[in-house]
Chains A and B, each alone.
Chain A
Amino acid sequence: MIARDPWLAFSRHTPARIALGRTGASLPTQEVLRFALAHAQARDAVHLPFEATKVEAEIRALGFETLEVASAAPARDVYLRRPDLGRRLNAESRARLAARKAAPVDLALVVADGLSATAIHAQTAPFLAAFKPWITKEGWSVAPVVVAAQARVALGDEVGELLAARALVVLVGERPGLSSPDSLGLYLTFAPKVGRSDAERNCISNVRSEGLSHELAAFKLAWHLKEALRRAVSGVELKDESDLLLLHGAPPPALTGG
């Protein structure tokens, strides 16, 4: 009954759903179900409760201090409708960060659930483990890692400002795709403050084992951060030239050489 497509072998060249076959005009049952499962997983990634405490514990185990904050969005459905609330701290979190009267640091790191808690749960610890050697190598001073719930990228601006950081990196759960429910995004902003625009950020996307590896992402981020601090810019004026330093497609190690 099902007409198979004789070019199935080409699916090794692309993750796209090619050569699915058909019954009449329609998808075979197996493909309808496979799609439904992928959609269900992506939906669950959007709505999965963020396990902030567990993520904090994993970050502390790597030797970082941590702080927990929340955005002004009280619940997930409000968060999805009101991106403006997800970009600002709630009053309690703001007061707590302000009371720290932080001494200036080079870098603030914010871990934000974004649109995929699944991504944060899966990628945060391995990514930070890969990035930590670069912090050590460059001698950057770092504020406690802030773990933020119901948070979008721009929430980091307020955090970075309150923590007196020269530069901000937000680790955020990216909008889940059907084939990538657990993808992490990294956003770098020089001189973070409330009101920064997306054009003033650099983005490193698709960080996950099947996409950009943790090691390569850590190298790229370190390159961007070093350049941002040296040239005092981020965003469209800072073009990615980190590929020039790759050795046969692999990043140079953080703790040896240079």
Chain B
Amino acid sequence: MAYVHRIGARSYVFADLKELMAKATPPRSGDMLAGIAASSAEENVAAKMALAEVPLKAFLSEALVPYETDEVTRLILDTHDPVAFAPVSALTVGDFRDFLLSDQATPEQLAALAPGLTPEMAAAVSKLMRNQDLILVARKCRVVTCFRNTIGLPGTMAVRLQPNHPTDDAAGVSATILDGLLYGCGDAVIGINPASDSLPVIDRLLRLMDEVITRFEIPTQSCVLTHVTSSIALMNRGAPVDLVFQSIAGTEGANRAFGVDLKVLREGTDAAAALRRGTVGQNAMYFETGQGSALSAGAHHGVDQQTLEARAYGVARPFKPLLVNTVVGFIGPEYLYDGKQIIRAGLEDHFCGKLLGVPLGVDVCYTNHAEADQDDMDTLLTLLGAAGVTYIMGIPGADDVMLNYQSTSFHDALYIREVLGLKRAPEFEAWLERMGIADAAGRLLPASGTHPLVGFVKEQAA
């Protein structure tokens, strides 16, 4: 069905909901590359005005990606909860924004609403929201998950310690783990992107992290970010897999380009759950996403990249992940051109994830061919801290020497904790105090060259 909006003498016509959503999206290079962006600033606002009048219910009857040919659409519509949806079922997208910002929309209300919302509804309302709206509503959404600690409690923010090394060297990885732990990072996960796809190499990295966590009784979890089928194979041969990782996207075709479907994600989830390696809880999946992946795979169906990103959270949701993060500036300037677009996308992704009930963290990052720098990352980090982001990345000096991009550093985590008073996961915070790394208030103590963790690196190097 077509949507029309008149501004002065001019009528703007949008052929269907998909076109309306794309043209209502704040400008970004990926939608321009796909040829679906609004062609003028006025058309962009006309589309927003038309979208504000669309009933939320329309998203249940008009699929943006065909139901018949896309299992993600089927997952979203078949698992939609009409009872949870009932309180907002009579609202338009514009009314829904007003509701979300109102005092009626309490954290409890929003948590109850999440199963009744589809990713398309979350994406639609985000397109009408300013950055401050995205922050304010996300801050009200509570998503708490557990494995060996508790992530997502109000007033906390966790950090993934990312000890990547260009050749997966054990001493090099250990040195970075030590650096991160002694800077108070690693409560979300100690998670390595391996340089190698070889199973023996990945097995060795898993055992290395398992040994650190076990020997020092660290209340955290480890992950090697390899393909889900590799993790399943490793679990079958007895490797100590805590979290199963997979990159996912918002369409069946884009997931196929990642070599996965819902069935294999279910197999990975079940295999990890069977190991029961969590102590506080059993949320054992870790997903990464990012705007532009579906277009990059030629599987975007003419849908804007932000809506498809929200659908990726719809893919993640049924697998009850411990962690999901958007790698917001990683994919490059052809999808998010500059600091302004990366900042906007980071806030949208975080908002949509949280509204849908997914534990969303953000890899606040950029590549060297994007028009962005550390100042942009400081801005996005500060905004996400205010929005209650579940976790961020921690990389020594913000420089990932394996993946060749810049993210947030251990120092950045200290900065945002100091500015906003954010605590770590409580179990991890207590461990830092026990180990003499931080004081009771969570503030780092002077570093010691004789700390037992230092001895561990020496062993690995020997």
Please give the distance in Å from B414's CB to the nearest CB on chain A: 4
Residues of B within 8 A of A178 (CB): 368, 399, 401, 404, 406
Q: How far is the CA of A175 from the CA of B192 in the complex (A)?
A: 21
Question: Which of A4, A7, A176: most chain B CB closer than 10 A?
Answer: A7
Residue pair A18, B374 in contact (C-beta under 8 Å): no
Q: How far is the CA of A54 from the CA of B457 in the complex (A)?
A: 47
Residue pair B396, A16 in contact (C-beta under 8 Å): yes
Residues of A within 8 A of B179 (CB): 5, 7, 10, 16, 18-19
- Please judge, given known A-B contacts A19-B179, A25-B414, whether A177 and B405 are in contact too, CB under 8 Å: yes
Q: Is A230's beta carbon under 8 Å from chain B?
A: no
Q: 29 A-B Cβ contacts within 8 A? A: A5-B182, A6-B449, A6-B454, A7-B454, A10-B175, A10-B178, A10-B461, A13-B171, A13-B174, A14-B175, A15-B401, A16-B179, A16-B395, A18-B176, A20-B397, A22-B414, A25-B414, A25-B417, A35-B397, A38-B399, A42-B368, A82-B33, A82-B334, A115-B369, A176-B368, A177-B368, A177-B404, A183-B404, A211-B166
Q: Is B53's beta carbon under 8 Å from chain A?
A: no
5 nearest CB pairs, A to B: A17-B397, A177-B404, A6-B449, A14-B172, A25-B414
Please give the distance in Å from B15's CB to the nearest CB on chain A: 24
Please give the distance in Å from B54's CB to the nearest CB on chain A: 31
Residues of B within 8 A of A175 (CB): 332, 367-369, 404
Residues of B within 8 A of A181 (CB): 368
Residue pair A81, B29 in contact (C-beta under 8 Å): yes
Choose among B172, B182, B461 the residue that contacts A16 (Cβ–Cβ < 8 A): B172
Residues of B within 8 A of A176 (CB): 368-369, 404
Task: Give residues in A with beta carbon < 8 Å to B.
Answer: 3-7, 10-11, 13-20, 22, 24-27, 31, 35-36, 38-39, 42-43, 45-46, 80-84, 115, 174-181, 183, 206, 211
Q: How many residue pairs, one in A and one in B, have C-beta atoms under 8 Å apart?
A: 144
Residue pair B368, A18 in contact (C-beta under 8 Å): no
Residue pair A25, B415 in contact (C-beta under 8 Å): yes
- One digit per residue, 1 when the CB lies within 8 angstroms of any chain A CB and 0 when it does not, for chain B 326-354 equals 00000011100100000000000000000
Q: How far is the CA of A5 from the CA of B183 in the complex (A)?
A: 10
Residue pair A16, B176 in contact (C-beta under 8 Å): yes
Please give the distance in Å from A118's CB to the nearest CB on chain B: 11
Q: How far is the CA of A206 from the CA of B401 in the complex (A)?
A: 11
Q: How far is the CA of A107 from the CA of B171 in the complex (A)?
A: 41
Residue pair A14, B454 in contact (C-beta under 8 Å): no
Interface set, chain B 393-442, CB cutoff 8 A to A: 395-401, 403-406, 409, 411, 414-415, 417-418
Residue pair A39, B401 in contact (C-beta under 8 Å): no
Residue pair B165, A39 in contact (C-beta under 8 Å): no
- One digit per residue, 1 when the CB lies within 8 angstroms of any chain A CB and 0 when it does not, for chain B 11-40 equals 000000000000000000100110000000
Residues of B within 8 A of A183 (CB): 404
Question: Which of B176, B337, B444: most chain A CB closer than 10 A?
Answer: B176
Q: How far is the CA of A198 from the CA of B175 in the complex (A)?
A: 34
Please give the distance in Å from A197's CB to the nearest CB on chain B: 9
Closest to B395 in A: A16
Please give the distance in Å from B435's CB to the nearest CB on chain A: 15
Closest to A76 in B: B369
Residue pair A80, B399 in contact (C-beta under 8 Å): no
Residues of B within 8 A of A24 (CB): 418
- Please judge, given known A-B contacts A42-B368, A81-B337, whether A16 and B411 are in contact too, CB under 8 Å: no
Residue pair A18, B175 in contact (C-beta under 8 Å): yes
Closest to B30 in A: A81
10 new A-B contacts at CB < 8 Å, known A39-B374, A177-B401: A13-B169, A14-B172, A15-B401, A16-B163, A16-B396, A20-B397, A22-B444, A80-B333, A175-B369, A176-B404
Residues of B within 8 A of A81 (CB): 29, 32-33, 333-334, 337
Residue pair B399, A179 in contact (C-beta under 8 Å): yes
Please give the distance in Å from A182's CB to the nearest CB on chain B: 12
Closest to B367 in A: A175
Interface set, chain B 144-179, CB cutoff 8 A to A: 163-166, 169, 171-176, 178-179
Please give the distance in Å from A200's CB to the nearest CB on chain B: 13
